[in-house]
Amino acid sequence: MKFKAQEKQNQLIENITAQHLVVGIDIAQQTHVARAVNFRGIAIGHPLSFSNDEDGFLNLLRWIQSLQAAHNLTAAIIGMEPTGHYWLNVSKWLSEHHFEVVIVNPHLVKKNKENRDNTPSKSDKKDALVIADMVKNGYYSFVRNAPEAFEELRVFLSNRDSIVTRLVSAKNQIHRWVDVVFPELRQVFKSLMCTGSLATLRLFPTPEELRKLQPQDIIEGWKSLMKRHSGERKARALITLASSSVGSKQATHAYKLHLKQLLDEYDLACQQLKAVEAEIIALLDRIPFAKAMLAVKGISAISLAGVLGEAGDLSGFVHGNALLRHAGLNLAEASSGKWTGQMKISKRGRSRLRRFIFLMTMSLVANNPEFKALHAHNVQVKKMKKMRSLMKLCGKLARILVGMARSREAYNPHKTMPLQLAAKVYLIVMLYEVWLIRGISKESTEYRIH
């Protein structure tokens, strides 16, 4: 169903007729609980507990059919919380059996749990009834069933996030290990994760081992792992610093074993990251409009895959603002009477999608001429704070992505920025660069822009 933004709530309520059985399911890992109400919110039948398997789903189906027959209802709508991954199987099973499945926001479930009994008590049966009430009142959204390519992207991106987390953890622990055992290594290598530093840690990690070696021995060891070694000067510096190291001299065997495992974890994470990113890039070729989006300067394959994996097929969004709302980047206002609060983003959406849209916007501002010019115009002329300008450009990006997906057209810089504004903004950017190069004050009257 397509909705006009100002009429969405009414249309969601009108979607539920007097012939509907409204079912709310409280999702759990092993046993779900279902409650049912009619379109007026009157509870129907007894609660049902059913297992998370085929027998349990069939039991739910018989329960729904019996309630429909008993109350002369011909349609059913089933709502549930998207709790972790536990809801996916029952949702897909019900959709395959031609039921209308919707989801409710867990944040709203918590806020509405006192509507029935005016108490903060919580139970599975009560939560299922609260969910059914929310669906009856129109506080739900439809499940977006994305094509398989988008589902694969989402799985790959989730996998990539876990790999990156492990990789960063391994790097941080290697830094800690060096600080404890051989802190002087930082004086030889600017980056502890460079090839020469990692080769040194693999071959002779502790100062005690380095003290016994000659520069040529270190160079020969480097040659076994690197095509271009770090040179004799660094080899001599390592031996000199190892002779006067203040690092820990106890538990050497334990520290060496720990470092070996950290390096193995680092290598494994690097290999897995390379493999999953190759799969992501190959998968983007199967999406029709992805090639045109990747042609835009500043959009990388990983950031685009993150947006598509979380949002699904962008052509399903009627407007870029719908994508912003899906990500939780829509604005929320708090005001009352004469008091007007600060406008903030709602953050009621997918956090990972929000992150990828923001990172893509940052990349565009740094690399794309049109976005760079628009950002300069917002900051220099409209006197916006930089973060507010970035948030505004996130909306611009969302509208561009949805427009490209729906029209299947290539990126058009002239549509991104009107010609009159483009000329003015490029002048501002050029003058701003002059200010930076020559050190001229922005307040200088001869460079003011009217």
Reference 207, options 231, 167, 242; nearest CA is 242
Q: Is pLDDT at 438 greater than 70 in this prediction? A: no
- The span from the CA of 400 to the CA of 275, in Å, is 30
The region, left, alpha or beta by phi > 0 then psi within -120 to 50, assigned to residue 190 is: alpha
Q: Is pLDDT at 447 greater than 50 in this prediction? A: no
Backbone angles phi, psi at 49, to 5 degrees: -105, 130
- Residues 20, 26, 31, CA angle at the centre, nearest 5°? 120
When the pLDDT of each residue in the chain is averaged and rounded to a whole number, the result is 87
Q: Is pLDDT at 418 greater than 80 in this prediction? A: no
Average pLDDT of the segment spanning 131-137: 93
Average pLDDT of the segment spanning 349-374: 92
Question: What pLDDT, on a 0 to 100 scale, did the predictor assign at position 187?
Answer: 92
Tens of pLDDT, residues 35-53: 999 999 999 999 999 999 9
Tens of pLDDT, residues 222-248: 998 888 877 889 999 999 999 998 998
Range in 81-90, 238-247, 289-298, 410-419 the model is least confident about: 410-419
Average pLDDT of the segment spanning 197-207: 92
pLDDT band at 308; cut points 50, 70, 90: very high
Average pLDDT of the segment spanning 12-18: 90
Q: Is 46 helix (H, G, I), strand (E, B) or coil?
A: strand
Q: Is pLDDT at 450 greater than 50 in this prediction? A: no
Which tokens go with 271? Answer: 């290999």
- The full DSSP string for 370-394 is HHHHHHHHHHHTS---HHHHHHHHH
> Which one is predicted more confidently, 447 or 268?
268
- This prediction's pTM: 0.78
Question: What pLDDT, on a 0 to 100 scale, did the predictor assign at position 259?
Answer: 95
